[in-house]
């Protein structure tokens, strides 16, 4: 699994030869380090500056594809001209796009019910956060003692079981999070395909991500001949063919990308 910066000369030639490049990033763990509470994950000044520069270059379409709710993501990033995909791509806006998955809103009332049950059931767990993002729910347990982890998982599974058994909802997992999502055949991969289809000039797609729900996105961009970059220590169980160690190295890459036209 090559480190992206070790093969940068050949990668940058490939990017330089594409007339347009679609640069997509996951947010938490990719553009920002993972922190104890989701509301304090903010972009560094350098990353904000690089993304703003890239968004202003004709060559690039820049976007963020996150499990966060769209309004939360837009407020945190707040860079004009970007594409924002929230709730794992169920809602997308910016750069001329205004999309919500047609079936997603019909799950809202059920998600409210499930979130209430989760809050009741998990109320005694220290540090737990049940975040109903309108179209999906995330239960965060990063601030919860490790000894509670399996209890939290079983509680989410048990609470969602009637909805999972009936085919209404599904459960996905990430770094210290368990999520309850509508059982739709839609995730970051389909969202990335949609964003790419909506771009003119069939851009060369690149996607950076650090977690399980990013894997579909890796497959989609690589199937289209593009570049997928896993953020974290090199590992076997990712489909991404390239790797960067940390959000700090993502920032270095952003810096290099801003110089691409002069390369
Ligand atoms: Mg992430």
Q: Which helix (H) or strand (E) holds 179?
A: strand 177-182
**In this structure, which CATH number among 3.40.50.1000, 3.30.70.600, 3.30.110.30, 3.10.28.10 belongs to the domain 4-101+186-262?**
3.40.50.1000
Distance 211 CA to ligand 1 centre (A): 5
Three-class SS state of 249: helix
Q: CATH 3.30.70.1020 residue ranges in the chain? A: 104-182
Distance 231 CA to ligand 1 centre (A): 9
Place of tokens 């002069």: 262
**Predicted confidence (pLDDT) at residue 53 exceeds the cutoff of 50:** yes
pLDDT more than 90, % of the chain: 95
170-175: list long-range contacts, CB under 8 Å, 24+ apart. Answer: 172/212, 172/213, 173/212, 174/67, 174/211, 174/212, 174/213, 175/29, 175/34, 175/142, 175/210, 175/211
**Contacts (Cβ under 8 Å, ≥6 apart) of 197:** none
Distance 198 CA to ligand 1 centre (A): 24
Q: CATH 3.40.50.1000 residue ranges in the chain? A: 4-101+186-262
**Contacts (Cβ under 8 Å, ≥6 apart) of 74:** 84, 86, 93, 94
CA 175 – CA 61 distance, rounded (Å): 28
Q: Of 60-64, 153-157, 177-181, 235-239, where does mean pLDDT reach its minimum?
A: 235-239
Q: Is 26 a catalytic residue?
A: yes
Report, as an integer, the average pLDDT of 181-187.
98
Distance 69 CA to ligand 1 centre (A): 13
**Predicted confidence (pLDDT) at residue 52 exceeds the cutoff of 50:** yes
**Predicted confidence (pLDDT) at residue 261 exceeds the cutoff of 80:** no
CA 185 – CA 167 distance, rounded (Å): 12
* Active-site hit among 26, 210, 211, 214: 26
Homologous superfamily of the 104-182 domain (CATH): Trehalose-6-phosphate phosphatase related protein; domain 2 (3.30.70.1020)
Closest Cα to residue 38, out of 26, 27, 52, 25? 27
Confidence at residue 263, expressed as pLDDT on a 0 to 100 scale: 47
Query: Which pLDDT band, with edges at 50, 70 and 90, does 235 fall under?
Result: confident
Q: Are 162 and 149 in contact (CB under 8 A)?
A: no
Confidence at residue 262, expressed as pLDDT on a 0 to 100 scale: 57
Distance 84 CA to ligand 1 centre (A): 15
Distance 131 CA to ligand 1 centre (A): 16
CA 50 – CA 257 distance, rounded (Å): 9
Query: Which pLDDT band, with edges at 50, 70 and 90, does 236 fall under?
Result: confident
Which residues have CB less than 5 Å away from ligand 1 (the ion)?
26, 28-29, 210-211
Cα→Cα distances 78→63, 191, 230, Å:
12, 20, 24
Task: List, for residues 89-143, the tens digit of each pLDDT value.
Answer: 999 999 999 999 999 999 999 999 999 999 999 999 999 999 999 999 999 999 9
Report, as an integer, the average pLDDT of 193-217.
95
Task: List, for residues 5-16, the tens digit of each pLDDT value.
Answer: 999 999 999 999
Distance 28 CA to ligand 1 centre (A): 4
Report, as an integer, the average pLDDT of 198-218.
95
């Amino acid at each position: 699994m090559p480190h992206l910066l070790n093969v940068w000369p050949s990668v940058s030639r490939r990017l330089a030869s594409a007339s347009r490049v679609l640069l997509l990033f996951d947010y938490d763990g990719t553009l920002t380090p993972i922190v104890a509470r989701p509301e304090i994950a903010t972009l560094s000044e350098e990353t904000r500056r690089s993304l703003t520069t890239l968004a202003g270059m004709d060559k690039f379409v820049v976007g963020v594809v996150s499990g966060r709710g769209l309004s939360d993501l837009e407020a945190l990033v707040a860079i004009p001209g970007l594409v924002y995909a929230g709730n794992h791509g169920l809602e997308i806006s910016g750069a001329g796009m205004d999309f919500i998955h047609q079936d997603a809103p019909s799950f809202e009332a059920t998600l409210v019910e499930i979130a209430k049950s989760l809050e009741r059931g998990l109320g005694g767990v220290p540090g737990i956060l049940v975040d109903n993002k309108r179209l999906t729910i995330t239960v965060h347990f990063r601030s919860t003692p490790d000894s509670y982890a399996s209890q939290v998982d079983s509680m989410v599974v048990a609470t969602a079981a009637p909805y999972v058994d009936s085919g209404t909802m599904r459960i996905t997992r990430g770094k210290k999070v368990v999520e309850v999502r509508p059982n739709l055949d839609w995730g970051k991969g389909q969202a990335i395909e949609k964003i790419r289809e909506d771009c003119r000039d069939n851009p060369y797609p690149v996607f950076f991500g650090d977690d399980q729900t990013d894997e579909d996105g890796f497959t989609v961009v690589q199937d289209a001949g593009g570049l997928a970059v896993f953020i974290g220590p090199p590992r076997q169980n990712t489909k991404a063919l390239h790797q960067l160690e940390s959000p700090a190295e993502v920032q270095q890459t952003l810096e290099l990308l801003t110089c691409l036209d002069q390369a």
